Amino acid sequence: MSTSGIVYRPRRLRTTPRMRRLVAEHRLHAADLVLPLFVKEGITEPVPITSMPGQVQHTEATLGDAVEQAARAGLGGVMLFGIPAQRDATGSQADAPDGILQRAIRSAREAVAKVEAERPGTPGPVVMADTCLDEFTDHGHCGVLTPEGEVDNDATLERYATMAVAQARAGTEVVSPSGMMDGQVAVIRDALDDAGFENVSVLAYSAKYASPFYGPFREAVDSALQGDRRTYQMDAANGREGLREADLDLAEGADMVMVKPAGSYLDVLRGVADRSDVPVAAYQVSGEYAMIEAAAAHGWIDRRGAVLESVLGIKRAGADVILTYWALEIAEWLAETR
């Protein structure tokens, strides 16, 4: 290419690994990453999740070990999901003071404090909790059902409010409403403030799409769901609606907003990032993880290269925070290249 006699050769900036590193427009850092973790009540050994090779349902003891590992790897956060021994129609264990998720939060905070004490001045991961009823209900939906079997938005908001406060009392630093109920951020923010937890942040799952890529997650949480969640999760055809949902959550006081899944919705992620004045998260979901793992297991793709490219694409699309099941491995790989 030539302009006014000057020959421009873009390949000059690709000639060596050193040069490519110097001019890279986007970089991953361990602190960008959040590791989702599952803890199951009543088990004595971790249970492998067959559709998510390398992932497990943790015992309460091994959860603490996993959080310590995340802390030493420099991860930005851990997202906790609780799987109770008993479920019922209203998900009563979701806000039980000694429920499995509240116990997990306390254990995670203790693990973070332990590592921080060993390394003064180096922060550990932020402890986050999923604030939804689907793991706790015997019908598997994200809310309370009407007699007709539909999710009751306002009755569900009441449950989310008490669940958020229970999580805050247990020590979570971030509550994460993921049920896509209308008005959930405002109700949770008010409940937290009224209970004296003004400093607990709300990460809103703002644009959460009804997706087949959640399939392995349902094994991970022993989901009881029959049917689907399309009456409250979003339609894959709608991009502008995702932006509108994010706008609503921002107006209600969300401290962070999320797009989920990540890989199939990079356009929505970019749109949300362009309009948001708070940090934007994206969740690389279980199906995205399982696809790469399956292809790599067959030797069809380079596993490490595919993992890093997929996560870097999410970063490039505008995510400040990335939830990924590969968070620990990526942190290790990044440490190797420092």
- Please report, for the domain that includes residue 135, its CATH number: 3.20.20.70
- The total number of structural domains in the chain stands at 1
Look at residue 224 in the predicted model and tell me its pLDDT. 86
pLDDT for the residue 94: 98
Residue 20 falls within a domain, yes or no?
no
Q: Per the domain annotation, does 243 fall within a domain?
A: yes
Torsion sign, CA atoms 131, 288, 262, 201: positive
pLDDT above 80: residue 280: yes
Query: Tokens in use for 149?
Result: 């079997």
CA-CA distance, 310 to 174, in Å (whole number)? Answer: 26
Residue 63: pLDDT band (50, 70, 90) is very high
64: containing domain:
28-337
- What 3-state DSSP class applies to 188? helix
Model confidence pLDDT, tens digit, residues 309-331: 999 999 999 999 999 999 999 99
Instruction: For residue 337, name the pLDDT band (cuts at 50, 70, 90).
Output: confident
3-state secondary structure 218-266: HHHCCCCCCCCCCCCCECCCCCHHHHHHHHHHHHCCCCEEEEECCHHHH
Cα 178 to Cα 181: distance, rounded to the nearest angstrom: 8
Judge whether residue 304 has pLDDT over 60: yes
Percent of the chain with pLDDT strictly greater than 70? 99
pLDDT of 122 > 80? The answer is yes
Task: Indicate if 208 belongs to the active site.
Answer: yes
| Residue 260 is among the residues annotated as catalytic for this protein | yes
Q: Is the pLDDT of residue 207 over 90?
A: yes
Q: Determine what percent of the chain is predicted with pLDDT higher than 90.
A: 91
SS3 assignment for 136-159: CECCCCCCCECCCCCECHHHHHHH
Per-residue model confidence (pLDDT) at position 8? 82
Q: Please name the residues in contact with 335: beta carbons below 8 A apart, sequence gap of 6 or more.
A: 30, 73, 74
pLDDT at 6: 81
38 occurs within a structural domain? yes
Asked whether residue 28 carries a pLDDT value surpassing 80, the answer given is yes
Domain assignment present for 208 = yes
Query: φ, ψ for residue 147 (rounded to 5)?
Result: -60, -25
Region 125-141 average pLDDT: 96
In a domain, 306, yes or no: yes
Q: Which of 40, 114, 208, 315 is catalytic?
A: 208
Could you tell me if residue 125 is inside a domain? yes
Residues 54 and 38 sit within 8 Å (Cβ to Cβ): no
Mean pLDDT, residues 58-63 taken together = 97
In a domain, 294, yes or no: yes
Residue 311 lies in a domain: yes
pLDDT band for position 226 (cuts 50, 70, 90)? confident
Identify which has the larger pLDDT, 337 or 263. Answer: 263
